[in-house]
Structure 1
Amino acid sequence: MDVDALRKQAALHAKPPGLAFHYGTAGFRMRAEHLDHVMFRMGLLAALRSKQTGAAIGVMVTASHNPEEDNGVKLVDPLGEMLAPAWEEHATRLANAEDPDLPRALLRIVEEAAVEPARDAVVLIGRDTRPSSEQLAQAAREGVAALGGRLHDYGLLTTPQLHYMVRCRNTDGRYGKPTLDGYYRKLSSAFAELTKQASRSGDERASVKVDCANGIGALKLREMEPHVSPGLAVQLFNDGTKGKLNHLCGADFVKTHQKPPHGLEMKPNERCCSLDGDADRIVYYYLDAAGAFRLLDGDKMAVLMSTFLQELLAEVGESFSVGVVQTAYANGNSTRFLEEVMKVPVYCTKTGVKHLHHKAQEFDVGVYFEANGHGTALFSEAAEVKIKQLAESEDRKGKAAKVLANLIDLFNQTAGDAISDMLVIEAILALKGLTVQQWDALYADLPNRQVKVKVADRTVISTTDAERRAVTPPGLQEAIDSLVSGYRLSRAFVRPSGTEDVVRVYAEADSQESADSLAHAVSLAVFELAGGIGERPQPGFTR
């Protein structure tokens, strides 16, 4: 490491004074103008991680569903998974090191992580469509180059596509070809095999309207459209030609506000969906015959996918372990349906997709989704090998195994992928002959409400039991238990935000009025016991 040269380059990417940085589940994410030094240093860190693992590492420049003025960066580990927790700590320390201390901070990582500095490094870079992304990607490239790393710049990609490229590269193509064409062909060929088995009359094709959040998903879906058009008609809205990224549109807007995005005209019973800004989340929705808005979020998708997989696995007749992984935000009726009706084991983890992903890896077939629409299904290597062996047979078991084998290829097993998940859902609906209304009717969501309470210090709240019970401050959980006991089919929990001094409150009950009342009562308890600031929470909510 040439310390003098590194100091000179670091001076071109100076750390702004007075700001603290933390690498979390979403990587680093904030206003774009504060991120230049972070990007340079994450290029350095990606090169070190590559030298340590001997594998290609990904750098994705995106802020997902955040406003267009924000940006961020996340690193992708060798099998397409999120960055290892120990390296999240390295990332945080490196981003916060003062400029003169940068060489020392790098050497500390080299020593603690047993990095071989002379080893080759390979880094794959992708970025979303934000105006700031190209300049910030350049800072990351300079960081990689400063440590002699080799770069493969994919340019504009969805976040899940970069995860896919990293895994393909590090498995010598066994997972797929590390190119956009390879990604499109793998998913579209599996989709074609599945949909050609669906019973449809004549030239009838399924149709879906897609809100692309004015983001990268529009570009990539347009590129993919010719590959899937024989089985699916896709109409793109909020495609980036007008309107700002994530402004009044996208999966997060639709989920939060429980209403259609701006820029998408809906007719009753039309199937619609929204991606988020980097296309790793998706939610479905429609207007019923009475014109009421109906949302099918991550819980509904987990139920559809896991029940279909369960049916296929039963036909195959192999004793694979199956699990569905949710967070505390999963609707209680989705959990009850899976456990009591479908007899599928359900597990709850802390919020953050990395926690769900790791838990899902414990099963032969693991389906995980956050309620926000971020999720996928994972298949163990042993299960995949066995299923593809069985698929060679022409009997009933073989036919079910063929469907499973194509689903394995259609899921992006590296990360939640809105494009992949959309194709999985459309394939299942076609194979089952289900309308969006019939899918929605599998179970009814319990009414729920989420609110935020401003506090002086969010760290006064600590939780246990996958964030479902509060440990501190004293008396808060007892107050919540007492309040919950006053409502039917009810539950409530609180958890500190990971990014701001607010406490998030979730409540559900047998009616919307009861859910709203419970959420307000719990928010008052938080305000009083956890140091609330500003105005006391008021009853009444607006979506």
Structure 2
Amino acid sequence: MAERLFGTDGVRGLANSWPMTADAALRLAAAAGRYFRADKQEHRVVIGKDTRLSGYMLETALTAGFTSTGMNVFLLGPVPTPAVGYLTHSLRADVGVMISASHNPAHDNGIKFFGPDGFKLSDAAEAEITRLFNAGVAPARPDSIGRAKRFEDARGRYIEYAKTTFPAGRRLDGLRIVVDCANGAAYRTAPAVLWELGAEVIPMGVEPDGFNINAECGSTHPEAAARRVRETRADVGICLDGDADRVIVLDEAGQVADGDQIMALIASRWAEAGRLRGGALVATVMSNLGLERFLATRGIGLERTDVGDRHVVERMRAGDFNLGGEQSGHLVLSDYATTGDGLIGGLQFLAAMVETGKTASKLARVFEPVPQKLVNVRFAPGSAPLETEAVQEAIAAGETALGTAGRLLIRKSGTEPVIRVMGEAEDMVLLDKVLDSIVQSVRSAA
């Protein structure tokens, strides 16, 4: 039976367990190498990673797989995921690979692919790589085996590029910035960029040991950074996740601004400057109803997609939009990057502070969020509760009860046997009643 590899964002799993084993990584790289070999003299792949212990194992296995098919490998070392997308295109590589499980704990890992244009792969490309993986790939002739070498300037190239996305002639002089790098891929790049732009930098999460990535730090755990902001009287905090494709911002009081608030700020500023292509922001179905209402008051549209930054990027490319992202902090600014880039997104927030002279708290609360509640309901493997008549009737009744005053989103998780029941409404009593009815119907059907 054919083995399924790709999920919603590359291949991911528990390190040293299927499919995150050395053997599977080698076979996967061989399949990708065979797929991406273009008709030219040199075939090139770049491989980056975050700071997980298992990254060494997977990096070595991927190198063996790619070189076995005649691909030359450039090893970037620990760099942010967006740096891999950037360098894949900049170095004219056939394919780029990032070894990371993003915001997941250290015992997980993942493998993400980028095409020669620096964008993540299409479903068709992933399907063909999976077919080659299952069928097996013939190795290259002995005289055609690829070479591998460390690319020592990867971090420096990305640092220099990131600085070019900050407004020309502007600096961060006088700003005290806490930056939490989650003991992850940006532990050197992010503090360097901010310092070189003139900020007083207070770094956190910059002592990776292979096990502490995302551990009580970074964008998913901003509490420690919030305390540091208050203790040091910093002007702002920037929190990244393990591979630095997400960001959340902390104001001077340590209050959190999530991806929705940051996108609202950037969208409104870009629209005023005539920079917002397509007259709309692309976000997922999880983004708050308050964001949608705020954008409408500014004459800005909201294009919603399924959950996942990959879906956001696909819609942006199809509609020629240049701004999108997720509530979780994935910010895609396609004028600068091919995927979510937490550092570049954070720089846009800092640019707003510098150009307006306003404090972080004045910029971090652009709109008032509509109260949102999420309930996860596990179901038995093989069952399909959302397809039952009782659940569908409960959902329809809930939508009728909320009317235009709220919103429901009921969906099956793409990574575990869970139904996610989410609702938004100003009237929390009504929302609780609606969600309770749906949750009970799902549990009965599960």
Shorter-chain TM-score range: 0.7 to 0.9
> Are residues 192 and 205 of structure 1, via their aligned partners in 2, closer, same or farther at CA, if it must alter by over 3 Å?
farther
Is residue 183 of structure 1 aligned with residue 158 of structure 2?
A: yes
The residue number in structure 2 matching 1:442 is 366
The residue number in structure 1 matching 2:314 is 358
Identity %: 23
> Are residues 367 and 154 of structure 1, via their aligned partners in 2, closer, same or farther at CA, if it must alter by over 3 Å?
same
- CA offsets 1:48-81 (integer angstroms, 9 cap, x no match): 2321xx2xxxxxxxxxxxxxxxxxxxxxxxxxxx
Code of the aligned partner of 1:350: D
Is residue 298 of structure 1 aligned with residue 259 of structure 2?
A: yes
Code of the aligned partner of 2:395: I
Give the Cα–Cα distance (whole angstroms) in 1 for the partners of residues 352 and 251 of structure 2: 18
- CA offsets 1:241-273 (integer angstroms, 9 cap, x no match): 57821122222345xxxxx24794342885223
Give the Cα–Cα distance (whole angstroms) in 1 for the partners of residues 32 and 215 of structure 2: 31
The residue number in structure 2 matching 1:237 is 204
* Residues 285 and 294 in structure 1, CA contact (< 8 A), matched pair in contact too: yes
The residue number in structure 2 matching 1:478 is 393
Counterpart of 1:227 (choices 179, 184, 196) is 196
| Offset of residue 38 of structure 1 | 2.1
Provide TM-score, normalisation by structure 2.
Answer: 0.77
Code of the aligned partner of 2:301: P
The residue number in structure 2 matching 1:265 is 228
> Are residues 262 and 420 of structure 1, via their aligned partners in 2, closer, same or farther at CA, if it must alter by over 3 Å?
closer
Give the Cα–Cα distance (whole angstroms) in 1 for the partners of residues 315 and 321 of structure 2: 11
Partner-residue secondary structure (3-state), 1:193: coil
Code of the aligned partner of 2:393: E
> Are residues 170 and 212 of structure 1, via their aligned partners in 2, closer, same or farther at CA, if it must alter by over 3 Å?
same
The equivalences for 1:135-146 within 5 A come to: 135-146=57-68
Is residue 40 of structure 1 aligned with residue 34 of structure 2?
A: no
RMSD value, Cα = 3.2
The equivalences for 1:322-337 within 5 A come to: 322-337=279-294
Give the Cα–Cα distance (whole angstroms) in 2 for the partners of residues 476 and 135 of structure 1: 45
Unaligned runs of 5+ residues in structure 2 are: 95-115, 119-150
| Offset of residue 157 of structure 1 | 1.3
Is residue 126 of structure 1 aligned with residue 83 of structure 2?
A: no
| Offset of residue 146 of structure 1 | 1.2
The residue number in structure 1 matching 2:420 is 504
Partner-residue secondary structure (3-state), 2:333: strand
Give the Cα–Cα distance (whole angstroms) in 1 for the partners of residues 2 and 324 of structure 2: 35
The equivalences for 1:160-175 within 5 A come to: 160-170=82-92
The residue number in structure 1 matching 2:295 is 338
22-31 or 266-275, larger mean C-alpha shift = 266-275
Code of the aligned partner of 1:145: T
Give the Cα–Cα distance (whole angstroms) in 1 for the partners of residues 240 and 263 of structure 2: 17
Partner-residue secondary structure (3-state), 2:318: coil
The residue number in structure 2 matching 1:421 is 345
> Are residues 450 and 377 of structure 1, via their aligned partners in 2, closer, same or farther at CA, if it must alter by over 3 Å?
same
> Are residues 284 and 427 of structure 1, via their aligned partners in 2, closer, same or farther at CA, if it must alter by over 3 Å?
same
Give the Cα–Cα distance (whole angstroms) in 1 for the partners of residues 262 and 12 of structure 2: 27
> Are residues 513 and 246 of structure 1, via their aligned partners in 2, closer, same or farther at CA, if it must alter by over 3 Å?
farther
Q: Compare CA radii of gyration and give the structure with the larger one.
A: 1
Partner-residue secondary structure (3-state), 1:25: coil
The residue number in structure 2 matching 1:148 is 70
* Residues 163 and 414 in structure 1, CA contact (< 8 A), matched pair in contact too: yes
- CA offsets 1:439-468 (integer angstroms, 9 cap, x no match): 23421011112221110137625xxxxxxx
Partner-residue secondary structure (3-state), 2:48: strand
The residue number in structure 2 matching 1:527 is 443
> Are residues 143 and 307 of structure 1, via their aligned partners in 2, closer, same or farther at CA, if it must alter by over 3 Å?
same
> Are residues 481 and 212 of structure 1, via their aligned partners in 2, closer, same or farther at CA, if it must alter by over 3 Å?
same
| Offset of residue 349 of structure 1 | 1.0
> Are residues 455 and 187 of structure 1, via their aligned partners in 2, closer, same or farther at CA, if it must alter by over 3 Å?
same
- CA offsets 1:384-440 (integer angstroms, 9 cap, x no match): xxxxxxxxxxxxxxxxxxxxxxxx4xx3x2111111111111112221233222223
The residue number in structure 2 matching 1:376 is 332
Counterpart of 1:158 (choices 51, 62, 80) is 80
Is residue 28 of structure 1 aligned with residue 11 of structure 2?
A: yes
36-45 or 487-496, larger mean C-alpha shift = 487-496
Give the Cα–Cα distance (whole angstroms) in 2 for the partners of residues 417 and 126 of structure 1: 15
> Are residues 285 and 27 of structure 1, via their aligned partners in 2, closer, same or farther at CA, if it must alter by over 3 Å?
same
Partner-residue secondary structure (3-state), 2:273: helix
Is residue 349 of structure 1 aligned with residue 332 of structure 2?
A: no
| Offset of residue 481 of structure 1 | 3.1
Give the Cα–Cα distance (whole angstroms) in 2 for the partners of residues 479 and 174 of structure 1: 45
* Residues 213 and 238 in structure 1, CA contact (< 8 A), matched pair in contact too: yes
The equivalences for 1:273-284 within 5 A come to: 273-284=238-249
| Offset of residue 121 of structure 1 | 2.6
The residue number in structure 2 matching 1:494 is 410
Provide TM-score, normalisation by structure 1.
Answer: 0.64
- CA offsets 1:59-110 (integer angstroms, 9 cap, x no match): xxxxxxxxxxxxxxxxxxxxxxxxxxxxxxxxxxxxxxxxxxxxxxxxxxxx
Give the Cα–Cα distance (whole angstroms) in 1 for the partners of residues 52 and 319 of structure 2: 37
Unaligned runs of 5+ residues in structure 1 are: 1-17, 55-115, 197-202, 255-259, 379-407, 462-469, 532-543
Give the Cα–Cα distance (whole angstroms) in 2 for the partners of residues 428 and 287 of structure 1: 15
* Residues 191 and 427 in structure 1, CA contact (< 8 A), matched pair in contact too: yes
Give the Cα–Cα distance (whole angstroms) in 2 for the partners of residues 33 and 174 of structure 1: 31
> Are residues 422 and 262 of structure 1, via their aligned partners in 2, closer, same or farther at CA, if it must alter by over 3 Å?
closer
> Are residues 174 and 25 of structure 1, via their aligned partners in 2, closer, same or farther at CA, if it must alter by over 3 Å?
closer
| Offset of residue 124 of structure 1 | 0.9
